[in-house]
Amino acid sequence: QVHVAESGGGSVQAGGSLRLSCAADSGYSYDNWCIAWFRQAPGQKREGVAVIDNDGRTVYADSVKGRFTISKGNAKNTLYLQINSLKPEDTAMYYCATEGYGGYCSLAAPHMYNSWGQGTQVAVSS
């Protein structure tokens, strides 16, 4: 299990942008794993936002398509989520997750990921 840490959250007005980061332990490489972003609003289930596989292919939730972009950094232990055109309904704690059991690579089942960060809060005001 690898330690990952999210950063980059904050409070913004609707229409604004943020870039979230997910850094794994130094020396770790995401190359062999899918990495996903999830979010969870108070009282809501954890929801998949975006996932990228080891070939760079990406999948997004319908609610964020065209506004969110997941990408890997030049450093092999870094992942980003660029979020644009923020809406109040995007307000949530955002988590990155990796090391899916059996190479799991989807947004449907958060419990299939073994390594999670502590999250970074995004708050969007109207």
Strands in 4-7's sheet, in edge-to-edge order, are 4-7, 18-24, 78-83, 68-72
CA distance 82 to 103: 25
For 6-28, the pLDDT digits (tens) are: 999 999 999 999 999 999 988 88
What pLDDT digit, counting tens, does each position of 77-106 carry? Answer: 999 999 999 999 999 999 999 998 888 899
Residue 29 has pLDDT above 90, yes or no: no
Q: In a 3-state reduction of DSSP, which class is residue 101?
A: helix
pLDDT of 30 reads: 87
Cα–Cα dist 80/36, whole Å? 10
End-to-end CA distance of the chain: 39
